[in-house]
Amino acid sequence: MRQQRVRILKTNSRFLSASSWWTGEWSECSRSCNGGLRTREVLCKRRISAVEEKVLDDSACSSARPSFTEPCSNHSCPPEWLALDWSECTPSCGPGYRHRVVLCKSGESGNTLPDSKCPKNGRPTSRVRCNLQRCPPPVWVTGPWGECSARCGLGQEMRSVQCLAHTGQPSNECLEHQRPAAMQQCKSKCDWFFVSAECKDVSTVAYCPLVLRFKFCNRPYFRQMCCKTCQGH
């Protein structure tokens, strides 16, 4: 019986060992060029049976810990084109373009190089057409009415009328039948004190009664020359 126990202890002792470092397989390099890193798993282990190992704290291994990282792909990257993100479509409606910056670089994280260093035929496009939505149609835009042409009674007043696109630029695409009036009749309130003191017919004009008869008093020239005759008309 004692001999059998001694034989079992001898047999188990073959599988017991001191703690040592175990290293896994290296990973792929983080970059294909311009210098990268690869990593591996490093553990402190001790075999406790023929089929089982136990992971220990790193302090349990007395020898120096193997490196778990190392440099790789230290060769320079060949020059290649790198296209940045597209801009928004400009203008915001109707036919437009998107733009992006295209650089010649030595790898994605390398230095920027002159365009002549990269393949001429492989350069990505830096501009593409786009169309977000249809632009609003041009509209008639009117300014404020000006002063009445007559100081007393009927006259005319005018305002600016323009066809403008949504950008504020002049356009010729507005519908003509929708054009607002640029001139209209107006009436000024007469200052009767001023009229009685200053208003008179010019003596050289002998046809003031005809001006009144043919209703020309609303015209500035005739109203001025035949002020007294046109008074109140």
pLDDT at 66: 93
CB 189 within 8 A of CB 148: no
Residue 118 contacts residue 80 (beta carbons within 8 Å): yes
φ, ψ of residue 186 to 5 degrees: the values are -140, 165
Map tokens 């000006």 to a residue: 146
**At which residue do the structure tokens 């607002």 appear?**
180
Q: Look at residue 103 in the predicted model and tell me its pLDDT.
A: 93
Q: Residue 82's closest CA among 29, 31, 118?
A: 118
Predicted structure pTM score: 0.41
For 8-32, give one letter per residue: b (16+ CB within 10 A) or e.
eeeeeeeeeeebbeeeeeeeebebe
The pLDDT score that the predictor gives to residue 18 is 82
Sign of the C-alpha dihedral, residues 216, 222, 223, 228? negative
Q: What pLDDT, on a 0 to 100 scale, did the predictor assign at position 107? A: 72
Q: What are the average pLDDT values for consecutive 10-residue runs of the chain, which has 233 residues? A: 44 62 93 88 90 90 92 86 92 89 82 88 92 88 90 84 91 92 85 56 75 83 82 75
Q: Are 195 and 153 in contact (CB under 8 A)?
A: no
Give residue 205's pLDDT.
59
Q: How far is CA 160 from CA 65, 101, 163, 180, 197, in A?
A: 88, 45, 10, 10, 36
Dihedral of the CA atoms 110, 112, 117, 123 (nearest 10)? 100
pLDDT at 11: 44
Separation CA 35–CA 108 (nearest Å): 12
| 231: number of Cβ within 10 Å | 19
Q: Tell me, what's the pLDDT at 108?
A: 67
